[in-house]
Amino acid sequence: MIPTEPVGSIPRPPELIEAVAANGGNADDPALEPLFKAAIRDTISRFEATGSPVITDGEQRKYHNFYDYCVHGLPNMAPDGFKIPFAAGHTRRMPRLTTAPFRYKEYGDHYLEVAKSYTKIPVKQAVISPSALSLLYPVEGIPGYTRDQFIDDLMTEHVGEVRRCLEKGAHAVQLDFTEGRLAVKLDPTGTLLASFIDLNNLALSRFSAEERKRIGVHTCPGGDRDSTHSADVGYDELLPSLLRLNVTNFYVALAGEKDRKRVLKVIREHLSPGQRIFVGVVSPIDPHVDTPEEVRDRVLEAAEYIPLDQLGTTDDCGFSPFSDDTSTSRDKAFAKIAARVKGTALASEVLGRS
C-alpha cells in the first residue's frame, strides 16, 4: 500500500468560529473550552470515518493560524510584523517580537496529547518551521538582544517542541514550510531561501538519523480564502533546495499545479535515496470535490516518476489553516480526504498488479 497522510488543518465548526468572534477573538477564555473539545472529538471521529491510516486533530486548538500558535497572545509580540500578500488581494500579518526573550507560549506536543487521548489511530503533529519564526525578529533589531541570541532561543524552543512530540508518540512531526516558495518570490536571487534551508537544517542537525525518519517538511504556495501567495513561482526554483533539507518525508503540493509532470520531473532529478515524497493529490482551495478515480490517476501519474518505495500521497495544503477562513466547509474537506484515501488505495491495487 502507498502510504497516505493529511497535512493538518480542518475548517473549524461554525459554532466555534462564531463563539470566538462574539468573545472579541479571545480564544483563551475557559468558557470556550467545551466547544474546542467538541471540535477536536468531532474532527477525529470524522477523520477515522474516512479510513485515513494517519490523522490529525485538524489544528482545532491552534486557534488563530498555523504559524503563530506558539506565540500568539504573548505580551512581547506586536501585530504589525511580516506581511503575507495573497493573490486575491488580501494580506495576513505575522507578529513582531518587541523585546527579549523569545519564548513559546504553547507547544505542539500539548495538542498531540489531547488528540491521542481520543483515538487509537496514529496521529501526526504539524509544527511551524524555524525559518518562518525567524521572520518575527525585526529588521531593525532589538536593543540588548542580538539576532544570534534570538536564533539560539528559537532553536531551543523548536527542537524541544519537536523532540517532545516524538517522545509522546507522534506518528510523524511535520514542519510547515509554506514560506519556502514565497521566499523565492520575495528574493529571486535565492539568498533568502538558502538562509531558510540552512536555518532549518541547523535545527534538524540536533536530531539523530533515527529521529529524522519521523520528521518531514510540508511545502505549498499558501492557501487562504481560495487563494495562494506564491503559486506563480516555479517549483523548479524551490525543489532542488527543498530536497537538501535533512529529513525523510516531504509533503509537496501538486494537485493544484498547472503542469504536474514538470514538477514530477524536477523531483525525479533531485530525489535522493531514503527520501519519501508525499505528493498532493487533492487541492483544498479547489471547490471541486475529487473522485477516487481522479485521485487514482494522479497517483499513477506520480508513480511514473517517483519509485514506489519513495512515494506517498497527501493533501496539497491544510484545509483553512487560518481559523477565520470559512471558504471551505468541514463536509467538503472530509469528502476530499476520503477521496484521497480511496484513490490512493485504488492506485495501490493497480500498481500491485503491474
pLDDT digits (tens, 9 = 90+) for 184-204: 999 999 999 999 999 999 999
Supply the pLDDT for residue 303.
98
CB 215 within 8 A of CB 165: no
What is the Rg, in whole angstroms, of the alpha carbon atoms belonging to the chain? 19
CB 161 within 8 A of CB 111: no
Supply the pLDDT for residue 103.
98
Find the mean pLDDT for residues 271-290.
Answer: 96
Q: Which domains does the chain have, with CATH numbers?
A: 14-353 (3.20.20.210)
- CA distances for 280 relative to 149, 190, 315, angstroms: 37, 25, 5
Q: Is the pLDDT of residue 207 over 80?
A: yes
Residue with cell 508513480: 303
User: Which cell numbers in the block locate residue 333?
Assistant: 474537506
Residue environment code for 292-309, b if the CB has 16+ CB neighbours within 10 A, otherwise e? bebbbbbbebbbebbeee
Supply the pLDDT for residue 327.
86
Supply the pLDDT for residue 325.
80
CB 86 within 8 A of CB 228: yes
- CA distances for 145 relative to 31, 133, 141, 142, angstroms: 37, 16, 8, 5
Least confident of 151-165, 221-235, 236-250: 221-235
Supply the pLDDT for residue 323.
80
Find the mean pLDDT for residues 204-226.
Answer: 93
Angle (nearest 5°) at CA 8 between 6 and 12: 125
State the average pLDDT for the chain: 95
Least confident of 14-23, 177-186, 264-273, 316-325: 316-325
Instruction: Please give the share of the chain, as a percent, with pLDDT higher than 90.
Output: 87
Contacts of 144 (CB under 8 A, 6+ apart): 100
